[in-house]
Amino acid sequence: MKPVRLSKTATADIRSIGNDIAIDKPRAAEAFVEQIIQRCHSIADAPEGYGLRSAFGTGVRGVAIRPYVILYRVREKDILILGVRHGARRPTPFR
């Protein structure tokens, strides 16, 4: 099983999501951030099992954790989480 790594962008995305939720619901924010992180690590169980999201770039796959999408690439030695984006927003490609 390949290890899962979070990019700086993904880490910032998760932190921002938590901060936004925490404004109104601090406990819910903490629980949801933990849920996102667990979901990121569960990708290692079946990294090729989630669909390609070509709008986000070549080889980018995504798994939903509503209303967000965890975007990642399967690489030779690891799985890189590229970012966590709101599913209703216009896709911004990763390089």
CATH number at 16 reads 3.30.2310.20
Q: Return phi, psi of residue 27, to 5°.
A: -70, -40
Q: What is the pLDDT of residues 33-72, one digit of tens each?
A: 999 999 999 999 999 999 999 999 999 999 999 999 999 9
Q: 46 in a domain, yes or no?
A: yes
Sign for the pseudo-dihedral over CA of 11, 17, 23, 27: negative
pLDDT, average across residues 20-38 = 97
Helices of type H across the chain? 8-22, 26-42
- The residue segments making up the domain with residue 14 are 4-86
Write the single-letter amino acid at 17.
I
Mean pLDDT of the chain, nearest integer: 96
Work out how many domains the chain is built from and give that number.
Answer: 1
User: Residue 8: which pLDDT band, with cuts at 50, 70 and 90?
Assistant: very high
Order of all β-strands in the sheet with 60-65 = 4-6, 79-86, 68-74, 60-65
Provide the pLDDT for residue 57: 96
User: Could you give the 3-state DSSP secondary structure of residue 23?
Assistant: coil
